[in-house]
């Protein structure tokens, strides 16, 4: 089978990692639990920043957010390793800027994610992911953004939505709340 995954906030907890960096930079102590109440992907409103200030904050610290010690969601890394070991093909499709492509790939590899040559795609806009996913003829695709999964509605790809506080209104896809459940299921 051919499995495709978004990276940020699907496999790794980038939003939670950004929160810890913002806390340090802005000398605040916003609890991680505050993210569960927030219905936006962007976190700057927790710091009373305007959208413009939030945009600048993100851009200024983007590299640190991307390439330091962000954690994978429990079970995600192990599940992908297991799928690869079982002979399935794993593809990564991330909207991270093309300038960050090689560094992101290297960071993911170092983390232990199984990455084959030619299986890593970066730098497309959200609405362009559909073209890559169609070309790859994926069987399964997982993303945290419902708007991306919507673009795949006319395809044969079976989509899953990574459960997040900002996508609670979407109800068209099975939600992945806990990667460990899927890990246990394929172990059986
Ligand atoms: Mg994402």
Which residues, by Cβ under 5 Å, contact ligand 1, an ion?
6, 8-10, 144
Domain boundary among 34, 51, 67: 67
Residues 160, 89 share a domain: yes
Q: Ligand 1 centroid vs 71 CA: distance in angstroms?
A: 14
Residues 97, 175 share a domain: yes
Which residues does the annotation mark as catalytic?
Answer: 6, 8
Residues 84, 36 share a domain: no
For residue 188, what pLDDT is reported?
Answer: 66
Residues 53, 25 share a domain: yes
> Could you list the residue range(s) of the whole structural domain that residue 30 is in?
14-67
For residue 125, what pLDDT is reported?
Answer: 87
Q: Ligand 1 centroid vs 29 CA: distance in angstroms?
A: 25
**Cα distance between residue 164 and residue 78, in whole Å:** 20
Residues 63, 148 share a domain: no
Residues 141, 59 share a domain: no
Q: At what angle do helices 14-26 and 51-67 cross, to 10 degrees?
A: 110
Residues 51, 6 share a domain: no
**Cα distance between residue 125 and residue 114, in whole Å:** 24
Q: Ligand 1 centroid vs 185 CA: distance in angstroms?
A: 24
Number of separate domains in the chain: 2
Residues 8, 19 share a domain: no
Please give the chain's pLDDT, 188 residues, in tens. Answer: 999 999 999 999 999 999 999 999 999 999 999 999 999 999 999 999 999 999 999 999 999 999 999 999 999 999 999 999 999 999 999 999 999 999 999 999 999 999 999 999 999 988 889 999 999 999 999 999 999 999 999 899 999 999 999 999 998 999 999 999 998 888 76
Q: Report the side by side order of strands in the sheet with 89-93.
A: 120-121, 89-93, 2-5, 140-143, 158-162, 174-176
Q: Ligand 1 centroid vs 147 CA: distance in angstroms?
A: 11
Residues 168, 105 share a domain: yes
Q: Ligand 1 centroid vs 88 CA: distance in angstroms?
A: 22
CATH number (domain holding residue 109): 3.40.50.1000
Residues 98, 181 share a domain: yes
Residues 91, 135 share a domain: yes
Q: Ligand 1 centroid vs 135 CA: distance in angstroms?
A: 20
């Amino acid at each position: 089978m051919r499995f495709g995954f978004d990276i940020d906030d699907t496999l790794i907890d980038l939003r939670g990692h950004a929160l810890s960096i913002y806390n340090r930079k802005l000398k605040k102590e916003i609890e991680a639990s505050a993210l569960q109440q927030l219905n936006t992907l962007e976190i700057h409103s927790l710091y009373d920043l305007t959208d413009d200030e939030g945009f600048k904050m993100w851009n200024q610290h983007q590299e640190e957010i991307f390439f330091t010690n962000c954690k994978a969601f429990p079970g995600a890394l192990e599940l992908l390793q297991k799928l690869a070991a079982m002979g399935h093909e794993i593809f990564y499709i991330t909207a991270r800027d093309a300038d960050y492509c090689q560094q992101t790939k290297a960071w993911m590899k170092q983390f232990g994610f199984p990455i084959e040559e030619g299986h890593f795609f970066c730098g497309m806009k959200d609405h362009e992911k559909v073209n890559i996913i169609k070309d790859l003829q994926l069987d399964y695709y997982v993303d945290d953004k419902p708007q991306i999964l919507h673009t795949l509605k006319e395809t044969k790809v079976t989509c899953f939505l990574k459960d997040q506080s900002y996508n609670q209104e979407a109800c068209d896809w099975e939600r992945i709340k806990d990667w460990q459940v899927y890990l246990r299921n394929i172990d059986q």
